[in-house]
């Protein structure tokens, strides 16, 4: 529940289905609302920073790409970058290959099912670059992806996999997730945690925003339209 007693100076957002539609540019109303404000805007996404920049229409914002493992300031200055190690990459790809073997459909390699982003590897059974309508219809309730992980659990000493976006499985280091990287930016900037708030659609068990719970205040949104409405309510309070 949004508090009307606090003043928030730092607004954190997930990307897909939060600050923008999934894999599509930010809507003009959301861009105009945030661009006109004095609060810091922070976008925390599994996407690479160049994709965040494109999808947000170059909105002045801190960009925490790859779940925060590649951080840039609003002017593009790199704050940190922590890629996966090679043995981690091998471990992830081995698991993805096991998952592919039990899929009920053929993998379309033209739709880039595996994206190695450096600090994160993302696997989409239907394809990361599949047409948006196909992606929306593939696994809207996340049942298919949870079922895949139940059938082929990912047991790793260092890594974790989270449900992300509309069709993705995001593999990251278990100690370098959205929660730890949100905290890292707050410490880096010497911000007050009580003046920070995070909006995300993945604030459910196993979701890629779950790790932010307990770090700062969080607001669950259904999609980018719900986020816009709740943000308006917050800023008008």
Q: What is the pLDDT of residues 113-140, one digit of tens each?
A: 999 999 999 999 999 999 989 999 999 9
Helix, strand, coil abundance in the chain, percent, nearest 5: 35, 20, 40
Q: How far is residue 236's CA from residue 88's CA, in Å, rounded to a whole number?
A: 45
Angle 29-230-2 from CA coordinates, rounded to 5°: 150
Burial zone of 79 (CB within 10 Å; 0-12 exposed, 13-18 middle, 19+ buried): middle
- On the question of pLDDT at 7 being above 90, the answer is no
Q: Are residues 140 and 72 in the same domain?
A: no
Q: Which of 33, 67, 34 is nearest to 52 (CA)?
A: 67
> Average pLDDT of the chain?
94
Q: Are residues 54 and 77 in the same domain?
A: yes
Which helix (H) or strand (E) segment holds residue 192: the answer is: none
Q: Are residues 153 and 183 in the same domain?
A: no
Q: Are residues 42 and 158 in the same domain?
A: no
- On the question of pLDDT at 4 being above 80, the answer is no
Structure confidence at residue 237 (pLDDT): 66
Residue 4 lies in a domain: no
- The domain boundary, picked from 135, 152, 173, lies at 173
Residue 5 lies in a domain: no
Q: Are residues 181 and 200 in the same domain?
A: yes
Q: Are residues 43 and 104 in the same domain?
A: no
Residue 3 lies in a domain: no
Q: Are residues 50 and 27 in the same domain?
A: yes
Tally of domains within the chain: 2
3-class secondary-structure state, position 213: strand
Structure confidence at residue 69 (pLDDT): 96
Q: Are residues 202 and 223 in the same domain?
A: yes
Structure confidence at residue 236 (pLDDT): 84
Q: Which domain holds residue 41?
A: 10-82+176-236
Token digits for 62? 């801190």
pLDDT in tens, 41-89: 999 999 999 999 999 999 999 999 999 999 999 999 999 999 999 999 9
Residues with Cβ within 8 Å of 182's Cβ and at least 6 positions away in sequence, in order, are: 12, 42, 44, 64, 68, 196, 198, 212, 215, 216
Render 101-129 in DSSP notation, one character per residue. HH-SS---GGG-SEEE-SS-EEE-SS-TT
Angle 57-62-67 from CA coordinates, rounded to 5°: 95
- On the question of pLDDT at 2 being above 60, the answer is no
Residue 105 lies in a domain: yes
- The domain boundary, picked from 137, 153, 173, lies at 173
- On the question of pLDDT at 6 being above 80, the answer is no
- The domain boundary, picked from 158, 173, 188, lies at 173
Q: Are residues 151 and 139 in the same domain?
A: yes
Which pTM value belongs to this model? 0.86
């Amino acid at each position: 529940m949004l508090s009307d007693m606090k003043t928030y100076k730092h607004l954190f957002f997930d990307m897909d289905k939060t600050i923008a539609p999934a894999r599509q540019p930010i809507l003009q109303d959301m861009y105009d609302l945030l661009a006109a404000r004095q609060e810091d805007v922070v976008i925390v996404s599994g996407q690479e920073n160049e994709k965040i920049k494109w999808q947000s229409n170059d909105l002045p914002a801190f960009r925490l790409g790859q779940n925060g493992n590649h951080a840039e300031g609003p002017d593009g200055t790199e704050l940190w970058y922590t890629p996966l190690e090679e043995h981690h990459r091998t471990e992830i790809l081995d698991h993805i290959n096991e998952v592919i073997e039990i899929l009920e459909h053929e993998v379309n390699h033209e739709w880039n099912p595996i994206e190695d982003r450096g600090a994160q590897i993302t696997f989409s059974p239907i394809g990361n670059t599949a047409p948006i309508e196909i992606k929306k219809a593939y696994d809207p309730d996340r049942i298919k992806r949870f079922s895949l992980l139940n059938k082929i659990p990912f047991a790793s000493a260092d890594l974790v996999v989270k449900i992300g976006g509309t069709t993705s499985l995001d593999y990251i280091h278990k100690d370098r997730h959205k929660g730890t990287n949100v905290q890292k930016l707050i410490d880096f900037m010497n911000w007050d945690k009580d003046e920070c708030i995070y909006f995300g659609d993945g604030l459910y068990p196993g979701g890629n925003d779950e790790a932010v719970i307990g770090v700062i205040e969080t607001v669950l949104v259904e999609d980018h339209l719900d986020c816009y409405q709740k943000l308006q309510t917050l800023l008008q309070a």
